[in-house]
Amino acid sequence: MTAGGEGDRFGRQRLIAGWSQERLEAATAVVAGVGALGNEVAKNLALAGVGRLILCDPDTVEPSNLSRTVLVGDDDVGRPKAEAAVRALRRMNPGLRAEPRVADLAVGVGLGELADADVVLGCLDSRRSRLRLLGRCALVDAVLIDGGTQPWGGEMRLRQQKSDAPCYGCTLSAAERAVGDQPWSCRDLVASGPEASSIASTALVASWMTLAALRTLFAVPLPYSVLRVDALSGVSEPVSVRRDPDCPHHHPLEGPVRTLPLSCRATVGELLAALEPGEDPLSWSEFVIPRPCPGCGHYPENRRTSHTQADIDASSCKHCGALVRPGFSQRLRVADPDARLAALGVAPEDILSVRRPEGGYAWRRLEK
């Protein structure tokens, strides 16, 4: 079929002044969080014709999702949200390259992937996750469009590339930036759970996020850092935000980034062999390392290092019954040499910080 012809899927869009379907087809977008807002954003980008989507979410579909998620249905309850959404998106746009990441919201996508993405969209439900994603985008100077909903509206916040414009972190005090609230699961019925929401406010905020993403992909500057949407008053307006000089989310990685001939599927031993002698690689998240029993000194029978919850939980020593609590580390050198980097929480195409024996840090990127 010819571009713009009668059988062209995107023919009507091509008529829009300033539109470039070719740019969209060549673009990569990362969607962090595939709940209600992430569903809407991913659906919009797929229908618009963005060529590649990476969808990241560790959670599974719950019945309470179904009134606000266009990409999942009753048959998907209990399945990973990212995988269910990707299946629907591929049916919706067969030409789409979509990848599910059933992993932690902020580190399931490597720093290298964030750096290469044309736009990152944060559809998360906790301040902690938002700030962690913002920090990772700041390290590699990635464009981030962060959204959040309220019962009758919501907000959209931008982190623009190569700009000293204020970000979401600038809107918070130092104490608020330090709050470690945890992402909640849709199955958790707790007082600190999510605000009330409906598909109406979700779709409204997702539309604004999609428009901002498209303008970004078309290299059209956006004249605001924060946009507030109030459906009750019928007003969408920019919010004036000042750059906080103490905000930590404005400092990209310093120095060159060298690519290693390894992927996250490599072992710790292979990683150490690829580095210079004495270099000490660090992961971005803690992983579990086995500790000896404080009562009898025996190690667990399974001494592997991991970052899964089953290994994080304390257990009783099989020899003396004492409670054995696991240890935690970010130093990959102390992990089992045969452990895969991915099993320790290292994301695809991540950029690892490496301590040099003479002092200072170097940056090492993993291959795909």
Question: Which CATH number covers residue 78?
Answer: 3.40.50.720
Same domain flag for 66 and 146: yes
Q: What is the DSSP letter of 361?
A: E
Residue 101's pLDDT is what? 97
Establish if 123 belongs to a structural domain.
yes
Alpha-carbon gap, residue 29 to 192, rounded angstroms: 31
Q: End of a domain among 238, 265, 298?
A: 238
pLDDT along the chain (368 residues), means of 10: 71 96 98 97 98 97 93 96 97 95 88 97 92 94 96 94 85 80 44 72 97 96 93 93 90 93 97 96 90 73 53 65 80 95 95 96 96
Q: Do 109 and 209 reside in the same domain of the chain?
A: yes
How far is 91 from 112, CA to CA, in rounded Å?
28
> What pLDDT, on a 0 to 100 scale, did the predictor assign at position 315?
67
- Domain contains 229: yes
Predicted local confidence at residue 185, as pLDDT: 46
Residue 128 lies in a domain: yes
pTM of the model: 0.88
6 inside domain: no
How far out from the chain centre does Cα 361 lie? 24
Which pLDDT score is estimated for 193? 56
Q: Is there a domain that residue 301 lies in?
A: yes
The whole-number pLDDT of residue 183 equals 43
Whether 120 and 143 have beta carbons less than 8 Å apart is answered as yes
Distances (CA, A) of 338 to 8, 147, 263, 306, 309: 51, 40, 14, 11, 20
Are residue 163 and residue 284 in the same domain, yes or no? no
Assess contact for 253 and 139: CB atoms under 8 A: yes
Residue where one domain finishes, among candidates 186, 205, 238: 238
Boundary of a domain, candidates 238, 267, 288: 238
Same domain, 286 and 355: yes
Whether residues 217 and 278 share a domain: the answer is no
Is 330 inside any structural domain? yes
Q: Please state the domain count of the chain.
A: 2
**H/E element, 232:** none
- Asked if residue 315 and residue 227 are part of one domain, the reply reads no
> Which of 283, 284, 282, 280 shows the shortest CA–CA distance to 356?
280
pLDDT score recorded for residue 301: 59
Distance CA 286, CA 206 (A): 33
In three-state secondary structure terms, 229 is strand
Q: Please name the amino acid found at residue 310.
A: A
Domain containing 293 equals: 257-365
**In this structure, are residues 246 and 167 in contact, taking their beta carbons and an 8 Å threshold?**
no
Residue 249 lies in a domain: no
Structural domain contains residue 228: yes
Note whether 45 and 170 are same-domain residues: yes
Q: How many CB atoms lie within 10 A of CB 142?
A: 23
